[in-house]
Amino acid sequence: MTALLEVRQLTRTFGALAAVAGVSFSVRQGELVGLIGPNGAGKSTLYNLIAGAIAPTSGEIVFQDRPVAGWKPYQAARAGVARTFQIPKPYRHLSVLENVALSAMLHDRTVAAACESAQAILTDVGLADYVDAPVGNLTVGLLKRLEVARALALRPSLVLFDEIMAGLTPSEVRGMTNLVAGLPARGITVIWVEHVLYAIMKTAPRIMVLHRGELIADAAPEVLVKDPAVIKAYLGEEMSLA
Amino acid sequence: MDAAPLTSKRRTGRWRLLPERGTISLFELLLLAICLVLVAVPLPQYLQDVLIQTFLWAGLALAWNIAGGFAGLISFGHAAFFGIGAYTSSILAANYGLTPWIGLWIGGALAAAFGAVLTLVCARLRGPFFILSTLAAAEVVRIAALNWAALTGGAEGFSILPIASIANMVFESKTTYAALMLGYFLLIYVITKAVEGSRYGYYLFAARDDEEAASAAGVNPLLARTGAMCLSAFLAGIGGSLFAQYFLFLDPTHVISPELSFQFALLPALGGLGTAIGPVLGSFVITPLSELLRSYFGGAGAGLHLAIYGAVLVVVMLYFPSGIAGALQRLAERGRKGAP
């Protein structure tokens, strides 16, 4: 099976700092891949590169057999790459429904059709009760779900989730985990950055570990927890104490 | 700040009382009826003059609002578009005998082109920096118009021959002008409502609220913004042409002044930024107020009308931060909660 996304020797420097340094990996259609690493490891930069928010210093990004490094975010979205933002970025003056409908408008020709699509997705992510609410009234947890809803409303083939569990209660984490786990079956390939490790370890069959801009591991979760380099870089003392 | 947003439970088959995005309300129809009656009934000349100014400014404020309210491109330079429109149609008529009925579209197109260049050049500027650049651009246009005397008449001004005829777009009766300005205002209102309820309108709101998120949702923010400024400038330019045909005299210090630019921004801000009805209410309250104050106090206590005008502005801004339209919406929400 050919890769949906292939990243080759991807590098992005900010001055003397290489936020992402020679990262290579590929993701197949229908995969659910976790991406973990300590703060500052370069996860968000990697997302920004793939989603077109910033251009790479060097290296290649191939999406659906097309070289796309340096594309613009709206080109990425139109090609089928959706993302969430670690710090939610809602449209402040629009309702929850309208926030999601805006993404649906990428494919729906009319506002009414987009609102219908948005309504269904909001029910999926558990925001059905907040459809008409102004976004200013939402808690962080609800805003995270709004981010997920907006990404899914783009009907992407690849979605990049960035810490969508932060601020959620354990039962909300369970609900969201189920939602994410079900995406590959719906034809949506997922890359998932998460600090809520128990959620990602249980759900993602494959996890990549980023440390100081480099990919130091790419394996199944049960292999990862025994990898000395990963333990040293990320899992750390907590893991050895436990 | 915005009109009542779209809700999931669209109460179809029932008239909305107050303005809402994507529909026409009873309030708007009532306002339209009042406008039509005011044009039709015989009024004293000076009141007709106030009416003409009010309609013109409602249109101009709506035009500004497409850029400033919908797209977040707060411009203090719209007088430039207004002036470009006014001078273009007037010069084409005087020098080439082209009827203003055609000239006004050319003026609008030139204003739109200027708006596009301005937006693209200032694409990276945000907030106060964008505002200052629009102010500066308008000053450049004003100074150019002052110095290019061969074309514009410079500081001495530019007169339009007061020969009444349909082809000249000069009329004997103020009623005709009132109807013309009402048509202009209604045209822009319809365009505004269409934009507000369309996908393009939502692209503008999104790019205004969060550019990064909008871009990640497939919206090209620069294209959306530039389009909004073009449309806004085009409509403001047409307003300039209409003003020229009514006032029959142009002078850069008046038609491209910063004061005029501020008025463009002030009316939507007071009426309710980013709504369709807001700029209309802004003009309907403020234009008559300023005109009537001027005529009552203009002669006696020089400057008194400006003091009262200023005081009213301060009060409105203090107590109605989301404009008159915002106050109306709060009233409606209170009413809805009170109802069973």
pLDDT at B257 over 70: yes
Where residue B165 falls (left for φ over 0; alpha for ψ -120 to 50; beta otherwise) is: beta
The predicted structure's pLDDT at residue A210: 94
Which of A110, A119, A154 lies closest to B218 in CB terms?
A154
Instruction: Give how many domains chain A has, as a whole number.
Output: 1
pLDDT band at residue B4, thresholds of 50, 70 and 90?
low
Chain B, 184-203: which have a CB under 8 Å from a chain A CB? 197-199, 202-203
Q: What is the mean pLDDT of residues B165-175?
A: 90
Query: Which residue carries 């491209």 as its tokens?
Result: B256
Cα A171 → chain centroid? 21
Which of B9, B199, B220 lies closest to A111 in CB terms?
B199
CATH number (domain holding residue A185): 3.40.50.300
Instruction: Give how many domains chain B has, as a whole number.
Output: 1
* Residues comprising chain B, all counted: 340
The answer to whether residue A34 is domain-embedded is yes
pLDDT at B10 over 90: no
The predicted structure's pLDDT at residue B40: 92
pLDDT at A241 over 60: no
DSSP 3-state helix, strand, coil percentages of chain B (rounded to 5)? 75, 0, 25
The predicted structure's pLDDT at residue B313: 75
Structural tokens at position B182: 């009402």
- Contact state of A115 with B210 under an 8 Å Cβ cutoff: no
CATH number (domain holding residue B278): 1.10.3470
Instruction: Give the ipTM of the model, two decimals please.
Output: 0.91
The answer to whether residue B8 is domain-embedded is no
- DSSP E strand boundaries for chain B: 158-159, 249-250
The residue segments making up the domain with residue A196 are 3-88+156-241
Q: What is the pLDDT of residues B71-89, one digit of tens each?
A: 999 999 999 999 999 999 9
Query: Which residue carries 């234009």 as its tokens?
Result: B287
| Averaged pLDDT of chain A | 91
The answer to whether residue B212 is domain-embedded is yes
Rg for chain B (alpha carbons), in Å?
20
- Contact state of A74 with B219 under an 8 Å Cβ cutoff: yes
The predicted structure's pLDDT at residue B88: 96
The answer to whether residue B16 is domain-embedded is no
The answer to whether residue A118 is domain-embedded is no
Contact B147, B122 (CB under 8 A): no
Q: What is the mean pLDDT of residues B169-176?
A: 91
Which of A91, A110, A119 lies closest to B210 in CB terms?
A91
The predicted structure's pLDDT at residue A179: 93
- Contact state of A131 with B7 under an 8 Å Cβ cutoff: yes
pLDDT at B90 over 70: yes
Collapsing DSSP to helix, strand or coil, A156 comes out as: coil
pLDDT at B63 over 50: yes
- Contact state of B8 with A82 under an 8 Å Cβ cutoff: no
The answer to whether residue A143 is domain-embedded is no
The answer to whether residue B263 is domain-embedded is yes
Q: What is the pLDDT of residues B192-204, one digit of tens each?
A: 999 999 999 999 9
The residue segments making up the domain with residue B115 are 26-334
- Contact state of A76 with B7 under an 8 Å Cβ cutoff: no
The predicted structure's pLDDT at residue A171: 86
pLDDT band at residue B184, thresholds of 50, 70 and 90?
very high
Closest CA to B272 of B261, B263, B283: B283
Q: What is the mean pLDDT of residues A140-165?
A: 94
| Averaged pLDDT of chain B | 88
The answer to whether residue B19 is domain-embedded is no
Q: Give the range among A81-85, A185-189, B300-304 with minimum mean pLDDT.
A: B300-304
pLDDT band at residue B164, thresholds of 50, 70 and 90?
confident
Please provide residue B321's backbone torsions phi and psi, each rounded to the nearest 5 degrees: -60, -25
The answer to whether residue A150 is domain-embedded is no
Q: What is the pLDDT of residues B111-162, one digit of tens each?
A: 999 999 999 998 788 888 999 999 999 999 999 999 998 899 888 889 988 8
The answer to whether residue B5 is domain-embedded is no
Chain B, 277-306: which have a CB under 8 Å from a chain A CB? none
- Contact state of B218 with A78 under an 8 Å Cβ cutoff: yes
pLDDT band at residue A129, thresholds of 50, 70 and 90?
very high
Q: Give the range among A149-153, B40-44, B177-181, B186-190 with minimum mean pLDDT.
A: B40-44
Helix axes B304-319, B258-271, angle to 10 degrees: 40
User: The whole model's pTM is what?
Assistant: 0.90
Query: Which residue carries 């989603």 as its tokens?
Result: A51
Tell me the shortest Cα–Cα distance from A239 to chain B, in angstroms: 36
Q: Which residues of B touch A53 (CB under 8 A)?
A: 212, 215-216
- DSSP E strand boundaries for B284-324: none
Contact A60, A8 (CB under 8 A): yes
The answer to whether residue B282 is domain-embedded is yes
Other Cβ atoms closer than 10 A to B190: 13
pLDDT at B337 over 80: no
The answer to whether residue A176 is domain-embedded is yes
Q: What is the pLDDT of residues A111-122, one digit of tens each?
A: 999 999 999 999
Q: Which residues of A touch B218 (CB under 8 A)?
A: 74, 77-78, 103, 106, 154
Residue % of chain A over a pLDDT of 70: 96
- Contact state of A76 with B213 under an 8 Å Cβ cutoff: no
Query: Which residue carries 């969201």 as its tokens?
Result: A176
Does B314 or B97 have the greater pLDDT score?
B97
pLDDT band at residue A54, thresholds of 50, 70 and 90?
very high
Give the containing element (helix H, strand E) for A76: helix A73-79
Top residue of A74, A103, A155, A161 to mutate, by most chain B CBs within 10 Å, is A74
pLDDT at B298 over 70: no
Top residue of B6, B223, B225 to mutate, by most chain A CBs within 10 Å, is B6
The predicted structure's pLDDT at residue A19: 94
Q: What is the pLDDT of residues A12-21, one digit of tens each?
A: 999 989 999 9
Q: Give the range among A72-81, A122-131, B10-19, B256-265 with minimum mean pLDDT.
A: B10-19
Q: In what order do the strands lie in the sheet with A3-14?
A: A17-28, A3-14, A58-63, A66-67
Q: Which residues of A153-168 are buried (b: 16+ CB within 10 A; e: fewer)?
A: bbbbbbbbbbbbbebb
pLDDT at A234 over 70: yes
The predicted structure's pLDDT at residue A197: 85
Chain B, 15-34: which have a CB under 8 Å from a chain A CB? 22
The predicted structure's pLDDT at residue A239: 46
CA gap B271, B281 in Å, rounded: 5
Neighbouring residues of B69: CB distance < 8 A, sequence distance ≥ 6: B268, B273, B274, B275, B278, B279
